[in-house]
């Protein structure tokens, strides 16, 4: 099993360039660069080389500078680095030293595409490389009696008093509200689509998904206050179930529940999305039906009024004749 090596700054103070170069080669390999050509070498002091990226034609200047007793790198070295980069038309730099740089010299070298490794940066990078080599324990996805997302929802709602006030949603606001909830899925979908191995999800991805999950929870309380007209009252239940599924979907992924459950949640979410995406058409149809119904009622009212007037005049004539 790989272990994290123990390196402290003193180990680099009086290191020879050959041993120091081994560290450089290890770091450059992690950047996917390989040695290409040597430009200059001063025995046990300086190596100036061009390295080429393994997956492209991109080239970079690699400057290795070893100083005694961890002293500052001479300022003329910094100027020489930039000159050689300019002469070779290079924009990428990897500068390694077991010493340090004066603040002014670091500012001169510090630029986009320039990587500066002094003692502390080298040690931190080597430790990080060792951590990457440690094999992660393979996660086994598990069948659960109660989904983690459901538990999260239950605990969240239990700790909050649902508002008694109703938020009446007028018909002209329905489309915007539904599409706002539809848009909640996009950032989640994008993050999940970038997961390469669902059995080894990166910690930063899990953390971001967890944040999205917690951001969804307050929507359940908001939806519970909605009051739609009878024709669209079903949206209150559908929107609530849709958000609930998003929370359970994320939970199933990051808590390593069965992939068949993950797929089940995804398919149910997409069914709701298909339904929601037809809401505009449904609203337009309702408006047409509403107008037609009003026309029919108006016509009935008009006919009834006409009949009433005719009957009235007939009765009036009868009374006059008598």
* Residue pLDDT, tens place only, 43-64: 989 999 999 999 898 999 999 9
Mean pLDDT of 58-74: 90
Residue 225: burial class (beta carbons within 10 Å; 0-12, 13-18, 19+): middle
For all residues of the chain together, what is the average pLDDT? 88
pLDDT-derived band at 270 (thresholds 50, 70, 90) equals: very high
Q: What is the CATH number of domain 10-133?
A: 3.40.1350.10
pLDDT of residue 291: 59
Q: How confident is the model at residue 1 (pLDDT cuts 50, 70, 90)?
A: very low
For range 75-80, the mean pLDDT: 93
Q: What does the pLDDT average to over 79-106?
A: 93
For the chain, the three-class secondary structure string (H helix, E strand, C coil) is: CCCCCCCCCHHHHCCCHHHHHHHHHHHHHHCCEEEEEEEEEECCCEEEEEEEECCCCCEEEEEEECCHHHCECCHHHHHHHHHHHHHCCCCCEEEEECCECCHHHHHHHCCCCEEEECHHHHHHHHHHHHHHHCCCCCCCCECCCCCHHHHHHHHHHHCCCCCCCCEECCHHHHHHHHHHHHCCHHHHHHHHHCCCCCCCCCHHHHHHHHHHHHHHHHHHHHHHCEECCHHHCHHHHHHHHHHHHHHHHHHHHHCCECHHHHHHHHHHHHHHHHHHCCHHHHHHHHHHHHHHHHHHHHHHHHHHHHHHHHHHHHHHHHHHHC
With 60 as the cut, is the pLDDT of residue 293 above it?
A: no
What whole-number distance in Å separates Cα of residue 40 and Cα of residue 48? 5
pLDDT, mean of residues 70-90: 92
Write out the two tokens for 291.
């107008």
pLDDT at 289 over 50: yes
Q: How far apart are CA 69 and CA 49, in angstroms?
A: 24
**Can you give the residue ranges of every domain in the chain?**
10-133, 148-277
Predicted model pTM: 0.55
Structure tokens at 143: 């069948």
């Amino acid at each position: 099993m790989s272990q994290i090596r123990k390196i402290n700054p003193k180990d680099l103070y009086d290191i020879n360039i050959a041993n120091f170069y081994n560290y450089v080669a290890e770091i450059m390999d992690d950047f996917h660069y390989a040695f290409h050509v040597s430009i200059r070498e001063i025995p046990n002091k300086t190596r100036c080389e061009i390295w080429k990226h393994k997956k492209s034609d991109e080239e970079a200047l690699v400057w290795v500078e070893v100083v005694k007793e961890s002293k500052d790198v001479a300022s003329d070295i910094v100027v020489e680095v930039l000159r050689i980069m300019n002469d070779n038309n290079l924009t990428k730099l990897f500068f390694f030293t077991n010493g340090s740089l004066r603040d002014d010299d670091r500012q001169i070298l510090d630029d986009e595409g320039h990587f500066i490794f002094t003692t502390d940066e080298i040690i931190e990078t080597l430790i990080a490389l060792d951590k990457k080599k440690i094999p992660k324990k393979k996660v086994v996805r598990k069948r659960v009696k109660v989904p983690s997302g459901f538990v999260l929802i239950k605990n969240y709602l239990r700790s909050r008093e649902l508002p008694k006030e109703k938020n009446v949603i007028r018909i002209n606001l329905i489309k915007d509200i539904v599409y706002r909830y539809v848009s909640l899925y996009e950032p989640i979908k994008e993050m999940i689509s970038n997961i390469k191995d669902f059995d080894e999800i990166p910690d930063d991805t899990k953390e971001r998904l967890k944040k999205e999950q917690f951001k969804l929870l307050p929507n359940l309380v908001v939806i519970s206050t909605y009051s739609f007209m009878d024709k669209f009252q079903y949206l209150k239940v559908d929107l609530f179930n849709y958000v609930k599924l998003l929370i359970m979907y994320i939970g199933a992924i990051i808590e390593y529940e069965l992939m068949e459950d993950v797929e089940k949640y995804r398919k149910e979410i997409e069914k709701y999305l298909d339904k929601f995406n037809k809401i505009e058409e449904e609203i337009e149809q309702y408006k047409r039906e509403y107008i037609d119904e009003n026309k029919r009622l108006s016509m009935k009212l008009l006919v009834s009024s006409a009949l009433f007037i005719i009957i009235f005049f007939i009765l009036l004539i009868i009374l006059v004749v008598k």
